[in-house]
Structure 1
């Protein structure tokens, strides 16, 4: 049995600081995006497997190939890692992520459907500030996410940009509005650039994502409001902003 995939997930879980309240606050925007993407992916798999009643925080392997088991040695280590971790929904998904890694390499049930990895967004979320609690909303310790239903999450827009640098670029304090700079040949889907306006404690900060791959102050929005800019802009979603950041990072760094 190839235990490396499951051991790799175990190593990631072992490195999580489950009491990192500061990290949860610093990464509240990206963690909210990751949770919404997990809910969407879990809904896709639940719909495919007929497991809607088990959604959202469930052991997907049980519905795909119940015969798959975590190797005894890794299961014992996982018990140690999760000792004291709560609530049960977090422990369930951690075990499920390890079991899923086993299933991906060892399942005799045949090839998996062409659906995205269900647990990767949650693993990234845990790495960026620990777990969550489920009450009326999903409480991420810095952000609140609406649970919704399987049907509403099936219709949600995908958040496919999980690179740490992209997630870092989404994290900032205040209420944020993103804008794409558009003109002829540069539509919303492929803009000249993006800017954001943050309002925090009554102060406004305008920033542009630059070739230095970071947010830097800009006068663009203020000048536009005064009628001194010819380049137009349109409000965009956080998901669109993340896609631009990731594509720009890949283009400028040559990464894939």
Structure 2
């Protein structure tokens, strides 16, 4: 059996445990970021091909080339996989991801300035299954507002999708991130990052180290006491992800 682009996506969908609630709760932070990135990318494609009315959960390939098809064996296997999945919008995006692979294979001339719409969603599915749409998007462990197309199209891109980076963003409780800055180390390229994590009425201060993991730090406490000359500024999860991935790639290249 040939390992075509459509077969590769189908195999990824097959490997997902759609009922793994534990994984969904363990990956709440990264799943929320991945869903927001899908919504952003889907909004960009919807605007580019004037299909705004179909956003957010739709088969993008069908709007670009209605004649795109997948091999019969792929279609049959996919429908067998999807027959018990809910909601319908989840099934639509799974079909869309497979058809997208066929579209990219048939149309290498697609706009290069628009990112793969389904990759963030596939990675979200792989980290704990699907979603439900009520008044909020329920990702089984975290709920996020859907907002409108224009709002999503203008959100900050989240392009650091490596599993190691996503894992580093997942933790128990809620985190506030800070970049350590000084001369020659601005916010976008800091000396390092730390986070203050609040969980069950306790706070934990941690720094992301060259060991590529979060480790306890006294930096924030010492700073508050006036014993640390290195300044810091609050940053977003996306900025923290960029630092983590940059450091990981830098250390991998040095090894």
> 2:85 aligned with 1:85, yes or no?
yes
What is the distance in 1 between the residues matched to 2:174 and 2:111?
Answer: 39
Residue 28 of structure 1 corresponds to: 28
SS in 1 for 2:215: strand
What is the distance in 2 between the residues matched to 1:254 and 1:132?
Answer: 37
Residue 215 of structure 1 corresponds to: 214
Residue 54 of structure 1 corresponds to: 54
Residue 12 of structure 2 corresponds to: 12
> 2:129 aligned with 1:135, yes or no?
no
What is the distance in 2 between the residues matched to 1:157 and 1:184?
Answer: 26
What is the distance in 2 between the residues matched to 1:59 and 1:146?
Answer: 22
- Please report how far the alpha carbon of residue 172 of structure 1 lies from its aligned counterpart in structure 2 after TM superposition: 0.3
Residue 235 of structure 2 corresponds to: 236
Deviations along 1:192-232, one digit per CA (max 9) or x if unpaired, are 00000001010000000000000000000001001100000
- Please report how far the alpha carbon of residue 83 of structure 1 lies from its aligned counterpart in structure 2 after TM superposition: 2.4
Which stretch of the first structure deviates more once superposed, 78-87 or 6-15? 78-87
Deviations along 1:13-47, one digit per CA (max 9) or x if unpaired, are 00000001000000000000000000000000000
SS in 2 for 1:254: helix
Residue 198 of structure 1 corresponds to: 197
Residue 42 of structure 1 corresponds to: 42
- 5 Å-filtered alignment, 1:115-126, equals 115-126=114-125
Aligned positions, number: 252
Segments of 5+ residues of structure 2 without an aligned counterpart are none
Give 4+ residue runs of structure 1 displaced > 6 Å after superposition. Answer: none
TM-score when normalising by structure 1: 0.97
- Determine if contact 1:3/1:102 at 8 Å carries over to the other structure: no
Deviations along 1:61-119, one digit per CA (max 9) or x if unpaired, are 11110100111100011112212111111110000000000010124xx7101210000
What is the distance in 2 between the residues matched to 1:66 and 1:52?
Answer: 17
TM-score when normalising by structure 2: 0.97
What is the distance in 2 between the residues matched to 1:206 and 1:3?
Answer: 46
Residue 111 of structure 1 corresponds to: 109
Residue 253 of structure 2 corresponds to: 254
What is the distance in 2 between the residues matched to 1:231 and 1:253?
Answer: 27
What is the distance in 1 between the residues matched to 2:8 and 2:160?
Answer: 21
SS in 2 for 1:53: helix
**Root-mean-square deviation over aligned CA pairs:** 1.1
> 2:151 aligned with 1:152, yes or no?
yes
